[in-house]
Homo-oligomer: A and B are copies of this chain.
Amino acid sequence: MAELGFGTRLQRAIADTSPLCVGLDPSAALLEQWGLPDTPGSLVIMGESVIEAALGQVAAIKPQVAYFERHGSQGLAALEHVLARCREAGLLSIADAKRGDIDATMTAYGQAWVGQGSALRADAVTVVPYLGLGAMESLFIRAEEQGAGIFCVVASSNVEGRAIQTAMTGNGSVEATLLADLGARNQRYVERSGESLGPYGAVIGATREAGTLALSTFGGCFLVPGFGAQGASASDVGSLFAGTATGSVLVNSARQILNRGPAVAELAAEIFRQAQVLRDALN
């Protein structure tokens, strides 16, 4: 068992820095805007600039795996480099992979992304639950053992998934049952470990309304897309997560930061500005 779980580590990072997470989304369009060719080497350059600008100002960095994967094995080599640099720098990393499969396949994804010996080791990885949380046990066990975190997409920031996420099971809406399942896992972890937050996080779009979602008793961290470019303000985020545990809300921002590159000073200034806005809104 690692000394501290991911929930606690993220909570401390948020307290030490800010509730901001920088999304690392090196799309072809953004690389062009930075004056970089669309190559694996440019993925590394953008990653290193973002890490340099973000260090000490944000709680975590979230590379979107798809933008690396589009360069195949060489893109993943760039991602390995970026993730290793985060680790060296002491900056938490969240691999936004949205993996979701069953049983032995999830064991393999755990080997890919979670813990010691993983080629693509990140502090946390995102998952999608369409095949059921219960089918991901092997990944969850590995994450707990290794002090890593899981962020499960529960309520996405885009509208197209809402019909599925709000569909009704025999025990409430899909999103409510997922939140309850993850929350129960956090509760069991907290009871065993004596920590105050568990490693099971939920992705909740900033564009959502709390509605029937029991956010305040969740016992884990929230990863919040949809801030800034996607339309939600810091005060929207503050309202949505009112009453949740201190330091449990991590707000992702990508485009409105990355658009300011390639100069590290410009990136850092925008990160500083957004971090301050979020600190004010969430405290």
Q: Across the two chains, which residue of chain B brings its CB closest to A166?
A: B169
Task: Tell me how far the C-beta of A279 lies from the nearest C-beta in chain B, rounded to whole angstroms.
Answer: 28
Listed stretches A131-139, A182-190, A239-247, A264-272; interface member: A131-139
Q: How far is the CA of A162 from the CA of B98 in the complex (A)?
A: 19
Check B69–A73 contact: CB distance below 8 A: no
Closest residue of chain B to A173, judged by CB? B167
- Complex Cα distance A160/B80, Å? 32
A102 at interface, CB cutoff 8 A = yes
Is A73 within 8 A of B105, CB to CB?
A: no
- Which residues of A in the span 118-174 have a Cβ within 8 Å of any Cβ on B? 118-120, 128-135, 153, 156, 158-171, 173-174
A72 within 8 Å of B (CB atoms): yes
A109 touches B168 (CB 8 A): no
A106 to chain B, nearest CB (A): 8
User: Given A100-B100, A119-B73, is A167 in contact with B160 using a C-beta cutoff of 8 Å?
Assistant: no
Contact with B along A89-111 (1 / 0, CB 8 A): 00000000011111111111101
| Chain B residue with Cβ nearest A135 | B160
The answer to whether A66 touches B109, judged by C-beta atoms less than 8 angstroms apart, is yes
What distance in Å separates the Cβ of A283 from its nearest Cβ neighbour in chain B?
30
A163 and B169 in contact, given A72-B80, A98-B101, A128-B128 (Cβ under 8 angstroms): yes
Interface assignment of A2: CB less than 8 Å from any CB of chain B: no
* Min CB gap A38→B, angstroms: 9
Q: Which of A3-50 contact B (CB under 8 A)?
A: 25, 27-29
Indicate if A112 sits at the interface (CB-CB under 8 A).
yes
Given known pairs A102-B158, A164-B164, the reply for A73 and B76 (CB within 8 Å) is: yes
Q: Which of B74, B153, B168 contacts A168 (CB 8 A)?
A: B168
- Interchain CB contact under 8 A, B108 and A70: yes
Contacts of A105 in B (CB 8 A): 25, 64, 66-67
A233 within 8 A of B: no
Q: How far is the CA of A105 from the CA of B126 in the complex (A)?
A: 14
Contacts of A170 in B (CB 8 A): 163
The 5 closest A-B pairs by CB, nearest first: A72-B119, A132-B160, A134-B160, A167-B167, A132-B161
Q: Which residues on A are within 8 Å of B, measured CB to CB? A: 25, 27-29, 64, 66-67, 69-77, 79-80, 98-109, 111-112, 118-120, 128-135, 153, 156, 158-171, 173-174, 177
